[in-house]
Each structure stands twice: as C-alpha cells, then as structure tokens.
Structure 1
Amino acid sequence: MENQKSSSSLKAVIAVLAILLVGSLIYIFKMTSDAEVVKTELKSTLTEKESVMKDLQELKSTYDAAIAENTSMSDELILERDKVVNLMSDLSKSKGDVNSLSKYRTQFNALQGNMKVLMAENDGLRKQNTTLTTQRDSTVVVLGETKRNVEALTGQNEELAKAVEIGSKLTVLNTRGSAFRLRSSGKQIETDKASRADVLRVNFTIAENAIAKSGDKTYYVQVIDSKNNVLGDKKSENFGENTLTYSFLTNVKYENKTIQVSEDLRGKDFAKGTYYINIFDRDILVSKTSFVLR
C-alpha cells in the first residue's frame, strides 16, 4: 500500500517536472524568438539610419557643388544646405528608433524636393550666365577689334597730320649775302671789299607750296659780322624759353607761289672777314649762308 502511494507521488513529481520542463522550453523558445526579432529590427533600424545619413550627405554634396558656382542664388542654396547639415547632426545624435527614423526620412524627402526646385532654377541661371558670358566675350572681341581699328586710324591720322604739317612748311632756299657800294647817282655796285661797302644785301627764295597756308609771313633775319656782332636793329624776341636777337624783320605776302625776297642792311665801317646770315621762322632756323669781305 505504501509502495502504491510512493509510486503515485513519484509519478506526480515527474508529471510536474515534465510540465515545468515543457514550460521552460516554451519560454526559452519565445525569448529566443523575441531576441531575434529585436536583433532583426535593430539591424534594420541601423541600416535605415545609415541610408538616411548617406542620402543627406549626397544632398549636402549637391548643394556644395552648386554653391561653388557662385550664382545669384548662392544665399538660398546656403540656407537649404544648412538645413541639411542640421538634420544630419540631429540624426547622428538620435537613438535610431523606428518613429524618429520615419520623421527624418520625411524631412529628408521634403529637403530633397526643395533641392530639385532650387537646382532647376540654378541650372536656368547658369545657362543664362553662360549665354551672357558668350555674348560679353563676343562684345569684348568686337570692341577690341574696333579699338585696334580706331587706334590704327588714329595713328594713321596722326602720321598724316604730321606729314601735312611737315609738307605745309615753307622752304627757304638760295640764301645769299653780298655787299654793295652806293654812288652819288644812286647806282649800286657790288663789291667784296669791306672798306667800300655801304650796304649788305640778303637775298633768298621761298619755294612754291600748294598745301601751305597763304598769307603774310614774317621772317627774322640775323646778320653777324666777323667779330660776332649782330648788325642792324639788334632787337630781341622771346619764343617761350628761347630768345632771338635779330638784325631786321622781313614781311612777305605769300600766295603759294615761288617768291624772291631781297632786303638791304645799311651801315658803315664794315669789318673784314666772314659774315653769317641766318633766317628764322620764329625761333626755327630755316636757312643760312655766309660770305666774305676782304
């Protein structure tokens, strides 16, 4: 009888243990399954966080490249780029739960939409700038060619003006000096003796020049004796920083044709030696000669 009770108790204990074992196995299986689920969800969450972060980095790189082009939209692009940078900072600090990642993904999508709109506008501005730059470069080329042509024409005009100026100057030639003795009858006899000379005569020719300006011309005649004395009036005229002492003035009415000029310089006691005659147009020496009295 006792053996029966003992056997029944043992069976009861075994049954309880069996139930506990089954329960433990079920619990362990459930815990293992839950852990796998959590592990899978965690891995998925981390993958999504990395994906969002990568998308944000690409978005930032797009803005950086557009900002580097320095268009008129740079301020707007910088503002949007800063929003992306701030969202990247927040995402980096987040724990990465499903709800927050969903929020970040939504914000990324909104920023990406803004980016597409801004990039389209920026591309349009860049194309306009390219067109304007091409037009500007073409204008610069045309202006450069025009400037060179103007400079060439200006140079030619200056050279032509100089040529005309040079060509329009009168040429004084055949300048000659001589001495004459005056008789009581008024007759003049040429002499080369200083003691007999009463008059020194200066002759010169003004050549024909069709492009010269006609009208009254004044020449300053300077006669210098062998003792380096200026004969005649000995008047002085200032031309800027230059001063000219001359013997007499001769005024000529020039009409673009060859004209002979003859002027006399009266005197007495002329010295022997070489006499020098210089003819000036203002302070410019235009002709000279010399002669000797013995």
Structure 2
Amino acid sequence: MENQKSNSNLKAVVAILAVLLVGSLVYIFKMTSDAKEQLTVLTTTNTEKATVMKDLEALKATYDAAIAENTSMSGELIAEREKVVNLMSDLEKSKGDAASMAKYKSQFFALQTKLKGMTQEIEGLKKDKTILTTQRDSTITVLGESKKYNEVLVGKNEELTKTVEIASKLTVLNLKTAAYKLRSSGKQIETEKAGRVDVLKISFTIAENKVAKSEDKTYYVQVIDSKNNVLGEKKTASFGDNSLVYSFLTTVKFENKTVDVTQDLPGKNFEKGTYFVNVFDNGELVSKSSFSLR
C-alpha cells in the first residue's frame, strides 16, 4: 500500500517537472525567436539608413556638379542642395525606425525628382546658349566682313576723291612776261633795256577742264627783281600758317573752257638782271618763269 502511494507521488513529481521543462523550452524558443526578429529588424533598418544616406550623398554630389557649371539657375540649385544637406543631418541623428525611414525616403525621392526637372531646364538653357553663341559668332563674322568691305569702299572713295581733286585742279600754262616802253601816243614798244621799261605785261593761260567747277578763280602774281624786291602792290595774303607778299591779284571767271589772262604791272627804275615771276592759287605755286633786263 505504501509502495503504491510512493509510486503515485513520484509520477506526480515527474509530470510536474515535465510540464515545467516543456514550459521552459517554449519560453526559451520564444525569446530566441524574438531576439532573432529584433536583430533582423535592426539590421534591415541600419542597411536602409545607410542606403538612403548613400543616395543622399550622391544627390548632393550631383547638385555640386550642377552648381559648378555656374548657370543662371545656380541660386535655385544651391537652395535645393541645402535641403539635401539638412536631410542628411536629420537622417544621421535619427534612430532609423520604419516610420522615419519612410519619411526620409519620401523626401529623398521628392528632391531627386526636383533635380531631374532642374537638370532638364539647365540642358535647355545650354542648348539655347549654344544657339545664341553660334548666332553671335555668325553675326560677328558678318559684321567683320561688312567692316572690311566698308573699309575697302572708304578707301576707294578716298582715292576717288583725291583723284577728282587732282583732276579738278586748274592748270596754268604759258606764263610769259614782256617789258614795254610807253610812248606819249600810248603805243607800247617792247624792250629789254631796264632803263627804258615803263610796264611789264604778264600773261598766262588757264587750260580747259571739264571736271573743275565753274567759278571765279583768283590768282596771286608775284614779281621779284634781281635784288629780291617784290614789285607792284606788295600786299600780303595769308593762307593758314603761311603768308604771301604779291605784286597783284587777278580774278578770272572760269567756265571749264580755256581762258587767256593778261595784266600789266607798271613801274619805274627797273633794275638790270634776272626777274622771277610766280603765280599762286590760294597759296599754292602753280606756275613760274623768269626773264632778264639789261
């Protein structure tokens, strides 16, 4: 009887121990599973955080490169890059839980999308700039060619003007001087003796010129004796910085045809020797000759 009671107690203890063992095993298994699950979640979260950080770093580098191109959108790009930098700072401080990671991912995709749009706009600006640069270069080339052509035209016009000026100058020919003695009857007798001379007759011809203007032309005649004295009126005319002492002036009406000019220069006590006669057109010597009295 006692043996049966002892066996029953032993069985009860064994049963209790078995239940406790099973319970312990179940608890240990659950704890192990929970730890593995938490480790898996933590590992996954850290991996996601690192991935998002890497993506943000790449996005920042892309912004840096775009800003370095110094386009008209640099200001906007800098502002967007600051958003990326701030997001990286927030991500670094975060615990990396699922909710936070979802928020950071969403913000990353928004910034990435914004960058794509701005990149397309920058590319459009680059194309426009290239077209404008090409058009500007073409315009500069055309302007350069036009400038050269105009310079050639100006040169030709200047040459033509000079040619016309030269062609329009009147030519004075056949400058001659003769000495005469006047008789009481008014008759003039040519002589070469200085003591008998009463008047010098000076003559010259203005050649025909179809290019020159029809106008009144004034010539200054200068007669210098053998002692370097200017005969006649001895008046002075100024031409810029130069001045001229002349014997007389004569005004001729020129109408493109040949004109003969003759004028007397009266005087007395003419010196023996060689005389020089010069004809000036506005200070420019256009003809000269000489004669002698004995």
Category of TM-score, reference length = shorter chain:
0.7 to 0.9
TM superposition shift of 1:52: 1.9
> Could you say which residue in structure 2 is the equivalent of 1:180?
180
**3-state SS in 2 of match to 1:186:** coil
> Which residue identity does 2:227 align to in structure 1?
K
Residue 258 (str. 1) matches residue 258 (str. 2): yes
**3-state SS in 1 of match to 2:270:** coil
Spell out the pairing of 1:24-103 with structure 2 (5 A cutoff). Answer: 27=28, 39-103=39-103
Distance in 1, matches of 2:173 and 2:62, equals 86
Distance in 1, matches of 2:64 and 2:119, equals 12
**3-state SS in 1 of match to 2:243:** strand
> Could you say which residue in structure 2 is the equivalent of 1:292?
292
Q: Which runs of 5+ in 1 are unaligned?
A: none
Distance in 2, matches of 1:127 and 1:69, equals 14
> Which residue identity does 2:194 align to in structure 1?
A
TM superposition shift of 1:34: 5.8
Point out the more displaced range, 37-46 or 230-239: 37-46
**3-state SS in 2 of match to 1:166:** helix
> Which residue identity does 2:110 align to in structure 1?
A
Point out the more displaced range, 73-82 or 209-218: 73-82
Alpha carbon RMSD of aligned pairs, Å?
A: 3.2
Q: Which runs of 5+ in 2 are unaligned?
A: 1-5
**What TM-score results when the alignment is normalised by the length of structure 2?**
0.82
Distance in 1, matches of 2:193 and 2:285, equals 28
> Which residue identity does 1:47 align to in structure 2?
T
CA displacement 1:80-131 (0-9 Å, x = unmatched): 2222222223334444444333322111101111122222223223222322
Give aligned-pair identity as a percent.
64
CA 1:262/1:114 → structure 2, altered by over 3 Å: closer, same or farther?
Answer: same
Distance in 1, matches of 2:112 and 2:207, equals 91
> Could you say which residue in structure 2 is the equivalent of 1:270?
270
TM superposition shift of 1:218: 0.5
CA 1:200/1:106 → structure 2, altered by over 3 Å: closer, same or farther?
Answer: same
Distance in 1, matches of 2:48 and 2:192, equals 126
Distance in 1, matches of 2:116 and 2:266, equals 105
CA displacement 1:107-161 (0-9 Å, x = unmatched): 1101111122222223223222322332232222222222222222122112211
Distance in 1, matches of 2:233 and 2:102, equals 115
> Which residue identity does 2:172 align to in structure 1?
V
Distance in 2, matches of 1:149 and 1:248, equals 50
Spell out the pairing of 1:194-273 with structure 2 (5 A cutoff). Answer: 194-273=194-273
> Could you say which residue in structure 2 is the equivalent of 1:133?
133
> Could you say which residue in structure 2 is the equivalent of 1:163?
163
**3-state SS in 1 of match to 2:212:** coil
TM superposition shift of 1:208: 1.5
> Could you say which residue in structure 2 is the equivalent of 1:279?
279
CA 1:203/1:47 → structure 2, altered by over 3 Å: closer, same or farther?
Answer: farther
Distance in 2, matches of 1:108 and 1:143, equals 51
Point out the more displaced range, 167-176 or 205-214: 167-176
**3-state SS in 1 of match to 2:200:** strand
TM superposition shift of 1:30: 6.8
> Could you say which residue in structure 1 is the equivalent of 2:3?
none
CA 1:230/1:102 → structure 2, altered by over 3 Å: closer, same or farther?
Answer: same
TM superposition shift of 1:35: 5.8
Distance in 2, matches of 1:206 and 1:113, equals 93
**3-state SS in 1 of match to 2:153:** helix
> Could you say which residue in structure 1 is the equivalent of 2:117?
117
CA displacement 1:18-38 (0-9 Å, x = unmatched): x78x959974x7777666555
CA displacement 1:50-101 (0-9 Å, x = unmatched): 3222322332333333334444333322322222222223334444444333
Distance in 2, matches of 1:33 and 1:287, equals 130
